[in-house]
Amino acid sequence: MATAMMSLLEVLKGASEFLGKQGVESPRLNAEHLLAHVLGLKRMDLYLQFDRPLGESERAPLRDLIRKRGTGIPLQHLLGTVEFCGRTFKSDSRALIPRPETEQLVERALTYTNLSSPTSSILDVATGSGIIPLTLAFERPEASVTATDISPEALSLARENAVLLGVDRISFHEADLIPESLNASFDLITANLPYIPSAEIPILSREVQNDPLLALDGGTDGLDLIRRLALLAYERLSPGGHLLLEIGIDQSEEVMKCLAGHNYRDIVALPDYQGIPRFIEAVKQ
Ligand SMILES: C[S@@+](CC[C@H](N)C(=O)[O-])C[C@H]1O[C@@H](n2cnc3c(N)ncnc32)[C@H](O)[C@@H]1O
């Protein structure tokens, strides 16, 4: 990029062209997000300022971000935030970048009528950045909410998100799935566990490779943790309580079979917006 004064639109075009050449998907959108971040504007406000001249002091930090994005560093890590169910959460390399599909898991959980009683309790296993329990805590203020993750780094991010959003009623635990020390029983257990088969990790996109390995690797067929949780969760659900899982493509049949083997009832696969069976719901007898 040259040092002479350039208009915002010229800068935007140059940045998106560069990102496109680097193989970044939706290069213009990425460039807009990064430019808005540098200028402290909302992305849509850029459209009202296309003729605004941008000097070197604004272009230099953008150049740095665009260069990093071109190497595959995810947009959310560069912005430091991600939107989830209408709220802004911190996002960085400590935990998986929340995926849009997971909003549907939360929406499904919010249809369960038993979560509105003051004695209801929710457990989110493998909480990552904490998006699931924090959103549920907002939407179901009567419920007690607990979250676990085996990664201290992910939990530190989840706790920071709780502070950022002003939620102080979630109990976070560093643990393998559900620790014995949690002696409560739960009306809902949610989990978006690592479900990628180990052999597929090296062929994931550059962006996904930036997620912690611990957040991705589900063992040989991707289902190691889901199988373990299916058993543990049955023991920790209240009668009539729901287990709600997010799973990978082509895993629904195997997961449903596993849950049936542990005596769950009303086992259903629910599609995401692309029609892929992405969530499994089951009820404890
Ligand atoms: C796919 S990420 C999901 C994070 C978050 N729930 C979300 O939807 O964005 C999976 C999470 O599982 C955690 N994890 C991996 N193995 C675990 C285990 N044995 N027990 C608890 N958490 C585990 C990882 O640290 C990671 O945060």
Rounded to whole angstroms, the Cα distance separating 279 from 99 reads: 13
Q: Is 229 in the pocket of ligand 1 (CB under 6 A)?
A: no
Mean per-residue pLDDT, 153-177: 97
91-110 per-position pLDDT tens digit: 999 999 999 999 999 999 99
- Per cent of the chain over pLDDT 90 is 95
Rounded to whole angstroms, the Cα distance separating 148 from 7 reads: 48
**Which DSSP symbol is given to 62?**
H
Q: Provide the β-strand partners of residue 1.
A: none
Q: How many whole angstroms from 95 Cα to the centroid of ligand 1? A: 8
pLDDT band at residue 3, thresholds of 50, 70 and 90?
A: low
195-229 per-position pLDDT tens digit: 999 999 999 999 999 999 999 999 999 999 999 99
Rounded to whole angstroms, the Cα distance separating 65 from 76 reads: 11
Mean per-residue pLDDT, 119-129: 96
Domains annotated on the chain, with CATH: 6-71 (1.10.8.10), 93-283 (3.40.50.150)
pLDDT band at residue 4, thresholds of 50, 70 and 90?
A: confident
Output the pLDDT for position 247: 98
Backbone angles phi, psi at 146, to 5 degrees: -125, 150
C-alpha count within 13 angstroms, C-beta hemisphere, residue 82:
23
> How many angstroms from the chain centroid is the CA of residue 259?
24
Is residue 72 pLDDT above 90, yes or no? Answer: yes
Query: Can you state the percent helix, strand and coil of the chain, rounding each to 5?
Result: 45, 20, 35
Candidates 67, 72, 65; CA nearest to 18 is 67
Output the pLDDT for position 118: 84
The dihedral through the CA atoms of 232, 140, 115, 275 has a sign that is: negative
Residue whose CB lies within 8 A of the most ligand 1 atoms, among 151, 153, 178, for a mutation test? 151
Output the pLDDT for position 56: 96
Q: Is 148 in the pocket of ligand 1 (CB under 6 A)?
A: yes
> How many angstroms from the chain centroid is the CA of residue 200?
20
- Say what the pTM is: 0.96
Q: Which atom of ligand 1 is nearest to the CA of 225?
A: 19
Q: Which atom of ligand 1 is nearest to the CA of 148?
A: 21
| Mean of pLDDT over the chain | 96
Q: Which atom of ligand 1 is nearest to the CA of 191?
A: 6
**Which DSSP symbol is given to 217?**
B
Candidates 232, 243, 235; CA nearest to 265 is 243
Residue whose CB lies within 8 A of the most ligand 1 atoms, among 225, 226, 228, for a mutation test? 225
pLDDT band at residue 114, thresholds of 50, 70 and 90?
A: confident
pLDDT band at residue 117, thresholds of 50, 70 and 90?
A: confident
Is residue 1 pLDDT above 70, yes or no? Answer: no
Residue whose CB lies within 8 A of the most ligand 1 atoms, among 83, 101, 127, 204, for a mutation test? 127
Q: Which residues of 179-202 are buried (b: 16+ CB within 10 A; e: fewer)?
A: eeeeeeebbbbbbbbbbbbbeebe
The dihedral through the CA atoms of 105, 110, 112, 116 has a sign that is: positive
Q: Is 174 in the pocket of ligand 1 (CB under 6 A)?
A: no
Tokens of 79: 């912005």
Mean per-residue pLDDT, 19-29: 98
Q: Which atom of ligand 1 is nearest to the CA of 97?
A: 9
Q: Is 208 in the pocket of ligand 1 (CB under 6 A)?
A: no
Residue whose CB lies within 8 A of the most ligand 1 atoms, among 96, 170, 223, for a mutation test? 96
Say which residue the tokens 């003729």 belong to: 51
pLDDT band at residue 246, thresholds of 50, 70 and 90?
A: very high
